[in-house]
């Protein structure tokens, strides 16, 4: 009898726990009350008075968030600054440090962090958005702004930004990818990054006859014989994951052909088309140069992580990647190969022949912003805490930390950075940002356009599809989805 | 006698309740909700608009989906031949009286099917790697260095190259099933056939095959079902690339749903996969039954 009773109890417990698990998800999916935003904003405004300027190293202490918040529950935050990512990466390190400082200053609030690698983060956050189950605070990618704002998933942060204690110091141009219909939906996070940086071995290129990295692709092609003799790849690139060719190559090369007005017109839907001749020319150039043999043969089969390893192990004379790749290369070479570390210099992508839209540009910006789930507005106290956290993650503490430790800039401007304490690698990287910027294509529009274009690009550089068809498919996806 | 040890109906009911509930929640509920969402223009989030059969009309016209379906069929055919065919041959070899250390052969044969598909993907990516891969190294070693290729960037070869790890992984799985079927055949039949002068090939074709026909039918069904939902190791190895050269239906559905955030159409693709899988499985069963009946009559 006892055994029967026990098995019955176990069965009921198991079934009950399943039912609870399944029903747990939407405990606060009630109505959205966006009016409560304002009230909460006023509450948080009082937090700014104790700002301190003596934030110098990673032991930075902060007062920004030390004031009492009424909320005493849990805040979920999801981001991609993993501990591995933070190695040498100022933005990630700063983000993690600010999170920790905020959690330490608010012991009575439980800050639950869900940290994933970037690729997994993008998949998971899209899944959660689809299920209307976003975390309280998360990183919003520019291209999702319009769709998620239309769905009412993300909080309109316009007033929160205007009344921020750091409002006067914000670099307003950074908000562009996160603005839609006159409203702003996020505080640009992490650091200003470039997606198209050439890191090269200056000695090797000097031996090839170039005192600095070539400024035209024709020169790169002419140097091919030299590097072939040395059995060294001229330029390493990885496009297995398909987004790389768009983010780290075409965004810049496209700008060189079309100029920045063309892409602004695409974003604002004022007449430009992917089928415009200048953009098609940039695709033609992309196809030609990737078939010219100056890149590693396996560029379509390896990731950007593999490509940067080719540079690190000396089998490539240069690599094209984003600032995240440069951070990794710097951190690794500093330990493993200080000589190559010292020889490494930076350049913008060379100018394609026939491109007259712009010169020396590199696609740069802040691709992610700290955003708040619209549902949080139902609880003004919780919203106040989330806003406080968002200020902390993007405010002057963060900017000072990354400026002083990594010579990087972020949303909140820092008066001046003492460059004397940094080595040549970091100084050169800092100076690279003096080159003119252009937009990062996939910080805008929608994933539906980029998924089509990125897939076609991979096929195109294999010569299986022509640039005109790629442009037509992108235009079709653009018209249907944006 | 039997009724005295048979558990009471309500005990049986409770024991069954848990797996049935898990099955319902993990299979039927998602399927039913996907069917419901497939009638909406839904980009994720709370807002969606009913658009009737529009998603299904798009699906029928979507050449990318049908190309992915073609790749699944390629995988099914390659794996029926590669997995079940090779498993059958290996089992006959292991069962031969000349084979030593049968247990070791069985264990090592089965071992790959215990490895996660993602790990299999990584292992074979390393084998196919252009610079450091085993395959190109081997070609170089035998003096065929010129034949070295960026294997996973070959649109015409990539489906075969991703089928090979799948075949390798599951040969052992089908070996175990076929082995148990063969071991249930009366040994006397083999002995008699040997006395009559049947060679190994004749024994395999005229004795073993007809006697394990039903088991093979189960194997074929499992193989089709498994390959119609192929996803993991392709995601790891090529992400469907280069371009869409190795795109399969499940991966396409995933990319549409989460990459393009088109949940409504993604749901329609899921239902499309379900319906096509049913048609292929039922069709193949009918086909096998038809041909085997025909043979029996003859």
A158 and chain B: CB distance < 8 Å anywhere?
Answer: no
Are the C-beta atoms of A364 and A440 separated by less than 8 Å? yes
* A107 part of contact set with chain B, CB < 8 Å: no
Q: Write down the domain spans for chain A.
A: 74-193+366-413, 197-364+440-480
Q: Is the minimum CB–CB distance between A121 and chain B shorter than 8 Å?
A: no
* A7 pLDDT above the threshold of 70: no
β-partners of residue A347 are A198
In chain A, how many H helices and how many E strands? 21, 14
pLDDT at residue A58 above 70? no
CB < 8 Å to B155, chain A: 459, 462, 464
With an 8 Å Cβ cutoff, are A151 and B46 in contact? yes
Spatial separation of the C-alpha atoms in residues A251 and A434, rounded to whole Å:
18
Residue A109: left if φ>0, alpha if ψ -120 to 50, beta else—which one? beta
Q: Is the pLDDT of residue A36 over 50?
A: no
A376 vs A36: CA distance, rounded Å: 10
Q: Residues of B with CB below 8 A from A14's CB? A: 18
Question: For residue B194, what pLDDT is reported?
Answer: 84
- B260–A447 CB contact, under 8 Å: yes
Counting one residue from A and one from B, how many pairs have CB atoms under 8 Å apart? Answer: 116
How much is the pLDDT for A243? 92
Would you call A300 and B25 a contact, using CB atoms and an 8 Å cutoff?
Answer: no
Instruction: Find the residue in B nearest to A30 (Cα).
Output: B46
On chain A, the residues whose CB falls within 8 A of the CB of B259 are: 126, 447, 451
Specify the DSSP class assigned to residue B28. I
Percent of chain B clearing pLDDT 70 (strictly above): 97
> What span, in angstroms and rounded, lies between the C-alpha atoms of B208 and B247?
37
Note the pLDDT tens digit of each residue in B226-236: 999 899 999 99
Helix or strand run (H / E) with residue A344: strand A344-347
Lowest mean pLDDT among A55-59, A294-298, A345-349: A55-59
> Are residues B122 and B179 in contact, defined by beta-carbon separation less than 8 angstroms?
no
CA distance A430 to chain B (A): 33
Q: Does the pLDDT value for residue B188 go beyond 90? A: no
3-state secondary structure of B262: coil
* Residue A197, min C-alpha distance to chain B (Å): 24
If one compares A58 and B293, the residue with the highest pLDDT of the two is B293
Q: Does A473 touch chain B (CB under 8 A)?
A: no
Does the pLDDT of residue B295 top 80, yes or no?
no
Q: Is B23 on the interface with A (CB under 8 A)?
A: no
Pick from B43, B47, B236 the residue to mutate for testing the A interface (most A CBs within 10 Å).
B43
Q: List, for residues B32-41, the tens digit of each pLDDT value.
A: 999 999 999 9
- Interchain CB contact of B24 with A (< 8 Å): no
> Has domain A74-193+366-413 been given CATH number 3.40.190.10?
yes
Q: A14 and B18 in contact by Cβ < 8 A?
A: yes
| Residue A67 pLDDT grade (very low, low, confident, very high; cuts 50, 70, 90) | low
For residue B239, the chain A residue with the least C-alpha distance is A241
Across A123-151, b (16+ Cβ under 10 Å) vs e yields ebbbebbbebebbbbbbbbbbbbbbbbeb
Mean pLDDT of A100-112: 92
Model confidence band, residue A386 (pLDDT cutoffs 50, 70, 90): very high
**B10-19 average pLDDT score:** 89
Nearest CA among A286, B258, B224, A271 for reference residue A263? A271
3-class DSSP assignment, residue A435: coil
Chain B touched by A153 (CB under 8 Å): yes
Measured distance CA(B181)–CA(B193) in Å, rounded: 19
- DSSP-derived 3-state class of residue A234: strand
More confident residue, B128 or A21: B128
- pLDDT tens digits for A433-468? 999 999 999 999 988 899 999 999 999 999 999 999
Q: How far is A153 from chain B (nearest CA, A)?
A: 7
Domains and CATH numbers, chain B: 70-120+153-297 (1.10.3720.10)
Contact flag A298-B130 (C-beta cutoff 8 Å): yes
Distances (CA, A) of B234 to B122, B151, B158: 10, 14, 10
pLDDT at B146 > cutoff 70: yes
Tokens describing residue B277: 């899988």
Closest partner residue to A241 (CB to CB) among B151, B239, B244 is: B239
**A147 near B CB under 8 A:** yes
Contacts of B263 (CB under 8 A, 6+ apart): A130, B37, B42, B43, B44, B257
| Overall average pLDDT of the A246-253 stretch | 96
Which class does domain A197-364+440-480 fall in?
A: alpha beta
Can you tell me the distance from the alpha carbon of B226 to that of B232, in angstroms, rounded to the nearest whole number?
12
Contact status of B48 with chain A (Cβ, < 8 Å) = no
* Matching fold, domains A74-193+366-413 and A197-364+440-480: yes
Q: What is the DSSP letter of A122?
A: H
What digits encode the pLDDT tens for the residues B93-142?
A: 888 878 888 888 888 888 888 999 999 999 999 999 999 899 999 999 99
Whole-angstrom Cα distance, residue B298 to residue B292?
A: 10
Please state the rounded mean pLDDT for residues A51-67. 39
Q: How far is B260 from chain A (nearest CA, A)?
A: 4
A18 inside 8 A of chain B by CB: yes
Pairing state between β A437-438 and A362-365: parallel
Tell whether the model's pLDDT for residue B219 goes beyond 60: yes
Residues of A whose CB is below 8 A from B17? 11, 15
The pLDDT value given to residue A14: 46
In the structure encoding, which two tokens stand for residue A261, read together?
């007005």
Whether ipTM exceeds 0.85: no
Question: In B, which residues are within 8 Å of A455 by CB distance?
Answer: 240-241, 243-244
Q: pLDDT class for A300, splitting at 50, 70, 90?
A: very high
Rg (CA), chain B: 23
Q: Which of A7, A143, A301 to mutate to test the interface with B (most CBs of B within 10 A)?
A: A301
Query: Residue A101 and residue B282: Cα distance in Å, rounded?
Result: 60
% pLDDT > 70, chain A:
86
Name the residue among A11, A123, A151 with its Cβ closest to that of B45. A151
Instruction: Examine the pLDDT at B291 and tell me if it is beyond 80.
Output: no
Tell me whether residues B150 and A300 touch, CB distance under 8 A.
yes
Enter the pTM of the model: 0.83
Decide if A446 and B153 are in contact by the 8 Å CB cutoff.
no
Q: Smallest CA–CA separation between A410 and chain B, in Å?
A: 28
β-pairing, A362-365 vs A110-115, is unpaired
> Is A18–B153 a contact, with Cβ atoms under 8 angstroms apart?
no
- What does the pLDDT average to over A14-27? 41
Q: Supply the pLDDT for residue A5.
A: 55
Q: What is the pLDDT of residue B260?
A: 87
Residue A270 distance to chain B (closest CA, Å): 23
How many Å from the N-terminal Cα to the C-terminal Cα in chain A? 66
Please identify which residue in the block is written with the tokens 């953009």.
Answer: A279
Q: Does B260 touch chain A (CB under 8 A)?
A: yes
Whether A44 contacts A65, CB under 8 Å:
no
**CB < 8 Å from A in window 169-228 of B:** none
Q: Which residues of A touch B152 (CB under 8 A)?
A: 301
Which of A126, A448, A456 is facing B243, going by the closest CB pair? A456
Q: pLDDT, tens digit, for every residue of B224-273?
A: 989 998 999 999 999 998 999 999 999 999 999 988 889 999 999 999 99
Question: How many CB atoms are located within 10 Å of the residue A376 CB?
Answer: 26
pLDDT of residue A231: 93
Task: Check residue A247 and report its DSSP letter.
Answer: I
Position A3 scores a pLDDT of 57
Contact A242 B239 (CB under 8 A): yes
The predicted model gives A230-234 an average pLDDT of 95
Query: Any chain B CB within 8 A of the CB of A466?
Result: no
pLDDT value at residue B103: 82
Structure token pair of residue B37: 């969402």
Q: How far is CA A130 from the centre of its chain?
A: 21
Q: Residue B46: helix, strand or coil by DSSP?
A: coil
């Amino acid at each position: 009898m006892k055994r029967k009773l026990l098995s019955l109890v176990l069965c009921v417990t198991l079934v009950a726990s399943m039912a609870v698990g399944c029903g747990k998800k939407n405990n606060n999916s009630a109505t959205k009350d966006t009016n409560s935003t304002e009230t909460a904003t006023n509450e948080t405004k009082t937090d700014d008075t104790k700002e301190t300027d003596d934030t110098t190293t990673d032991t930075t202490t902060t007062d920004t968030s030390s004031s009492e918040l009424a909320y005493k529950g849990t805040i979920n935050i999801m981001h991609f600054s993993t501990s591995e990512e933070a190695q040498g990466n100022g933005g990630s390190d700063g983000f993690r440090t600010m999170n920790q400082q905020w959690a330490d200053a608010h012991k009575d609030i439980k800050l639950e962090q869900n940290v994933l690698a970037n690729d997994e983060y993008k998949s998971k956050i899209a899944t959660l958005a689809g299920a209307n189950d976003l975390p309280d605070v998360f990183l919003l990618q520019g291209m999702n702004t319009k769709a998620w704002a239309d769905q009412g998933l993300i909080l309109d942060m316009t007033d929160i930004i205007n009344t921020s204690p750091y409002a006067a110091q914000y670099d307003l141009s950074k908000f562009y990818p996160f603005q839609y219909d006159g409203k702003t939906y996020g505080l640009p996070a992490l650091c200003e990054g470039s997606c198209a940086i050439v890191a090269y071995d200056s000695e090797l290129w000097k031996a090839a006859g170039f005192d600095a990295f070539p400024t035209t692709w024709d020169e790169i092609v002419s140097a091919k014989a030299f590097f072939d003799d040395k059995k060294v790849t001229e330029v390493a690139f990885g496009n297995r994951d398909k987004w790389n060719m768009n983010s780290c190559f075409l965004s810049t090369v496209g700008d060189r052909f079309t100029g920045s007005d063309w892409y602004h017109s695409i974003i604002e839907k004022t007449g430009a088309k992917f089928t415009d001749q200048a953009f098609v020319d940039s695709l033609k150039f992309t196809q030609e140069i990737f078939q010219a043999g100056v890149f590693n043969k396996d560029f379509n089969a390896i990731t950007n992580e593999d490509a940067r390893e080719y540079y690190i192990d000396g089998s490539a004379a240069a690599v094209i990647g984003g600032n995240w790749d440069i951070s990794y290369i710097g951190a690794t070479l500093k330990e493993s190969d200080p000589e190559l570390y010292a020889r490494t210099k930076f350049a913008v992508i060379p100018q394609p022949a026939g491109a007259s839209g712009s010169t020396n540009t590199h696609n740069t910006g802040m691709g992610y912003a700290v955003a708040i789930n619209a549902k949080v507005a139902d609880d003004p106290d919780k919203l106040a805490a989330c806003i406080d956290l968002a200020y902390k993650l993007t405010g002057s503490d963060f900017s000072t930390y990354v400026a002083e430790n990594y010579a990087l800039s972020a949303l909140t401007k820092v008066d001046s950075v003492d460059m004397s304490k940094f080595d040549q690698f970091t100084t050169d990287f800092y100076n690279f940002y003096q080159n003119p910027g252009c937009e990062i294509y996939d910080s805008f529009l929608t994933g539906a356009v980029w998924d089509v274009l990125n897939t076609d690009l991979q096929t195109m550089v294999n010569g299986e599809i022509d640039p005109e068809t790629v442009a037509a498919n992108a235009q079709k996806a653009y018209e249907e989805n944006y | 006698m039997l009724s005295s040890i048979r558990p009471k109906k309500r005990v049986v009911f409770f024991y069954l309740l848990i797996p049935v509930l898990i099955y319902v929640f993990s299979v039927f509920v998602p399927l039913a909700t996907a069917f419901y969402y497939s009638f909406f223009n839904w980009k994720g989030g709370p807002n969606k608009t009913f658009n009737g059969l529009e998603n299904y009309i798009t699906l029928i016209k979507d050449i990318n989906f049908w190309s992915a379906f073609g790749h699944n069929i390629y995988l099914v055919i390659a794996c029926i031949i590669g997995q079940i065919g090779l498993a059958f041959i290996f089992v006959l070899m292991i069962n031969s009286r000349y084979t030593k250390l049968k247990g070791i052969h069985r264990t090592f044969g089965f071992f790959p099917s215990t490895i996660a598909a993602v790990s299999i993907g990584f292992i074979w990516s390393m084998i196919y790697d252009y610079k450091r891969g085993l395959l190109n190294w081997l070609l170089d070693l035998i003096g065929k260095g010129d034949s070295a290729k960026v294997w996973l960037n070959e649109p015409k070869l990539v489906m075969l190259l991703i089928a090979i790890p799948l075949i390798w992984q599951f040969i052992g799985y089908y070996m175990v099933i076929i082995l148990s079927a063969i071991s249930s055949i009366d040994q006397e039949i083999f002995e008699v056939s040997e006395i009559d002068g049947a060679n190994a090939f004749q024994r395999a074709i005229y004795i073993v095959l007809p006697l394990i026909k039903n088991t093979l039918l189960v194997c074929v069904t499992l193989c089709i079902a498994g390959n119609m939902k192929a996803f993991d190791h392709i995601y790891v190895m090529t992400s469907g690339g280069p371009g869409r050269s190795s795109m399969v239906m499940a991966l396409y559905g995933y990319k549409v749903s989460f990459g393009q955030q088109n949940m409504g159409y993604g749901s329609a693709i899921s239902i499309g996969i379900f319906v096509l899988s049913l048609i292929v499985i039922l069709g193949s069963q009918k086909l096998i039954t038809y041909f085997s009946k025909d043979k029996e009559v003859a």
